Chain A
Amino acid sequence: AQRVTQVQPTGSSQWGEEVTLDCSYETSEYFYRIFWYRQLFSGEMVFLIYQPSFDTQNQRSGRYSVVFQKSFKSISLVISASQPEDSGTYFCALSELIFGGYKLTFGTGTSLLVDP
């Protein structure tokens, strides 16, 4: 069974600081993808970035990047130059292939507050 763990329920930073959010996972699949989403205070979930298991390069998208440690089954989201608008809850999600398609298993989230 797949499992995604985010042990930090909350986090905080100051404007301009780099923030790292951690995620670990369990899977028996060889090929998988790990996604990061941010949930705004309104409830909307926004896709940020994903890392395919077969890619050894850490993915980057704007101010978001990941540190992927496949052998440890862990992945961290790094937000550079954090801003108050980055506040919200960050979810890590792991893909699982099912017959004819796929589904995502989500972690419990890390609530981030960036102080102005």
Chain B
Amino acid sequence: DAGVTQTPRHEVAEKGQTIILKCEPVSGHNDLFWYRQTKIQGLELLSYFRSKSLMEDGGAFKDRFKAEMLNSSFSTLKIQPTEPKDSAVYLCASSPPGQYEQYFGPGTRLTVL
């Protein structure tokens, strides 16, 4: 089975741009998570979907971050407008039904200039 895939692997954006990160969960998994990882804050949950329904929309991130899951095999994370402080690694993870362990994608490293 293919693991979680994320594209692009690297993204460089100018301040104020809109960027869209993509994630494909493992086939058959019904939980999908978006995280942001920085050295200072560590891993922070941005959004959580269960069976395509938004379960958690990380409070501090609601302003410029919007995650969507239009079908069970694809999710996007839009950051609009980007700011330099958004520079981080964005990780997507999925989890199978009835299980708690999460399987992570390789991440997208975002640099905002």
Mark A78-112 against chain B: 1 for CB-CB distance below 8 A, else 0.
00000000000001000100111111101111000
Which B residues touch A46, using CB under 8 A? 104
Can you name the residue of chain B whose Cβ is closest to the Cβ of A6?
B42
Number of contacting residues on B, CB 8 A? 22
Complex Cα gap A98–B100 (Å): 13
Main secondary structure of the interface of A (DSSP, over half): strand
A50–B33 CB distance below 8 A: no
**Partner-contacting stretch, out of B17-25, B48-56, B73-81:** B48-56
**Partner-contacting stretch, out of A15-23, A37-45, A65-73:** A37-45
Complex Cα gap A35–B100 (Å): 9
Which B residues touch A60, using CB under 8 A? none
* A100 interface neighbour in B50, B91, B104, B105, Cβ under 8 Å: B50
Which B residues touch A91, using CB under 8 A? 43
Contact surface of B with A, Cβ cutoff 8 Å: 31, 33, 42-43, 45, 48, 50, 53, 55-56, 89, 91, 93, 100-107, 109
